[in-house]
Chain A
Amino acid sequence: MARTAAGRGSLMSSPEQPLRKKYWSSGNSLAAFWIPGMILVGIIALALLVITIPVLRNPEYLAGAASDPVVFQAFFVTFLAGFCAVGILAITGTPLAYALSRSDTPWKGVVETLVDIPLVLPHTVAGLMVYLLFMSRGLLGAPLGGIGLTFEDAFPGIVAAMVFVAIPYYVNAVREGFGRVPVQLENVARSLGASRARAFVTVTLPLTTRHIMYGALLAWGRAIGEFAAVIMIAYFPVVISTLIYYRFNTGGIAESQAIAFILILLCLVLFFVFRFLTRRAGVYDDRS
């Protein structure tokens, strides 16, 4: 009792601040984690600043880039190819992710390793592979060329390179989502009369919405950023990273900075729009 009273007394006589300070200094502080972590965050912030400040200081380059039809076309090609790549991944990668999450075949490890290969390869190697596969004399390029689908220096080539490098990002994210849907839910759905496919469509898929959208966003981000793999199969039509590199070499830093700035701005806007649109997706709780 006496101790409590004394404690209360000291609390009242001194303001709250020293007590909080004491709390944080007594080993409860996260400073030891924040300080090294902030090095990384600082590098990102500085990187954004070295692009942004010169661009805002010389707005004529920004205006020039924004009104340049070549820049506009490169953005259009890049974003459209990115969406096409995500579409192809959604159609083929979603079933693959589901099969991987539910199967216990001994071959699963082999398939998983193959899916992860584009993640560990240097992008130039990925580019070489895509080129050899899809060039006009390539293993897939030749027969597809026969039905009028050309990849070399063509839009489909960009999409092919983007799909290739984005496979692991999409498949792994979606697969994790499927893994979180308890198989018991599917079992119950089936006991209630749903076939495996209907249980997938009516139960598993809606419960994986968030992971599918996240996987799509990751894959899209990876796809539109691809440079090495894309230029090896299709230097033209020019994608945005090719254009930035080209302008960096020919027109100088200021020109490439302006295009990069627009790209960053567009990506940020798209990310925010995406987050806003998906903030309620996959959340099923009356309490929140």
Chain B
Amino acid sequence: MIAVEEISLTRGDFSFAGISLQVPESSYTVLMGPSGAGKTLLLESIGGFLPVTGGRILVAGRDVTMLPPEKRGIGFMYQDYSLFPHLTVEENIAYGLKMKGIASRERTSTVKTLLSSFSLHTLASRHTGSLSGGEKQRVALVRALATRPTALLLDEPFAALDPEARLSCMDEVKAIQKDHGLTILQVSHDRDEAYRLADQVVVMDNGRILQTGTPAAIFSHPVHPTVAAVAGFENILEGTSGSSEGGRTRLSIGTGTIIADRIVPAGDRILACIRSRDITLAGADIPLSEQVNRIDGQVISMVATDHGCQVRFVGPFPLLIDIPGDRASWEYRPGEQVVAWVAPKDVHLIRIPKNTGDGGNAL
């Protein structure tokens, strides 16, 4: 288990104060947040590369706060893998064993076993510069595992891989984590990674932890605008709650209104979060069966996506709308008057506390 208790750190203009985080034993935790949130710094301070100015870091129950990195028993892997370019694949993997004083004969046999169990034996005597991204990733992983660390910290380990290698590498890491009961804390920008790997997701921004939970809980019930953005809500609209009726609340947003399937006290400042794929678009002359949340507006622009196309829409407030492939026959034209519609159950609300600027509570 990794337990971070109230640690503080200052690095140039950036600082955390009192960050706490728990990575349960043998679990996979994914740390998410926008760029510049302090994710890598948090990882590096757990790894011991940056001195903390307060708090404690416990690894498997042992206080490592004041220990140098080499005494912490934590494996670390960077996004670029940081393989030693002057050493061969074999020497890279043997490096940690050598530093730990393992005798040469035992070292050789351990490395040999690792090389063949990770299908790296054909690369053993190659330098790392000419390896593919997937091969580098695997060498870095094996190098980190060779010393049998108590925990593993991974800084965006899959970000530099091509899509195919990414999936297989993720599955491999997850399998190793399960087999060895490893405790892993990984930084990621990608929700798919979190869904595929994480037992727990932690979202941070500006040196603060905003929300912790299972991937499903975080991504469907964000409590903070930043978490909502990380969770993939493309539309985050600020407004005020009005009257409630029959379990629904009317929200004033811009010059329009939206109805959400939740009860909110009237007069609260709220953020309405809507995924672009949950919004339906129709030509102005097509009748929609639903009568609530019909939003009149205009198509501004359209771009093709993997799954169809994305429409930029402006009505009483701007919206991004995803149209799935079967409807994406480019039937809309910029400037065309259209009607957008969203089901009240798909409007997720975050309440903005009255006295603070950016915090929030899910409803």
The residues of A with any CB-CB pair to B shorter than 8 Å are 182, 184-185, 187-196, 198, 202-203, 206-207, 282, 284-287
A188 lies within 8 A of B78 (CB)? yes
The residues of B with any CB-CB pair to A shorter than 8 Å are 44, 47-49, 68-70, 72, 74-78, 80, 82, 84-86, 95-96, 99-100, 126-127, 129-130, 143-144, 147, 149
A184 lies within 8 A of B82 (CB)? yes
A189, A203, A282, A287: the one contacting B130 at CB < 8 Å is A287
A196 lies within 8 A of B130 (CB)? no
Do most interface residues of chain A lie in helix, strand or loop, or is the interface mixed?
Answer: helix
**CB-defined contacts of A284 to chain B, threshold 8 Å:** 85-86, 127, 129
A195 lies within 8 A of B70 (CB)? yes
Interchain pairs with CB closer than 8 A, number: 77
A194 lies within 8 A of B70 (CB)? yes
A185 lies within 8 A of B82 (CB)? yes
Smallest Cβ-Cβ distance to A207: which chain B residue: B86
Smallest Cβ-Cβ distance to A181: which chain B residue: B85
A192 lies within 8 A of B47 (CB)? no
B95 lies within 8 A of A190 (CB)? no
B85 lies within 8 A of A207 (CB)? yes
B69 lies within 8 A of A187 (CB)? yes
CA distance A206 to B84 in the complex (A): 10
A187 lies within 8 A of B147 (CB)? no
CA distance A198 to B99 in the complex (A): 8
**Other contacts beyond A191-B48, A285-B129: 12, CB < 8 A:** A187-B69, A187-B76, A190-B48, A190-B70, A191-B75, A194-B99, A195-B68, A195-B70, A198-B99, A203-B84, A284-B129, A285-B130
B49 lies within 8 A of A190 (CB)? yes
**CB-defined contacts of A202 to chain B, threshold 8 Å:** 95, 99
**CB-defined contacts of B84 to chain A, threshold 8 Å:** 185, 189, 203
Give the Cβ gap from A273 to chain B, nearest Cβ, in Å.
Answer: 24
Give the Cβ gap from A26 to chain B, nearest Cβ, in Å.
Answer: 38
Question: Looking at B86, B143, B149, which has the most chain A CB atoms within 10 Å of its CB?
Answer: B86
CA distance A284 to B49 in the complex (A): 27
CA distance A202 to B94 in the complex (A): 13
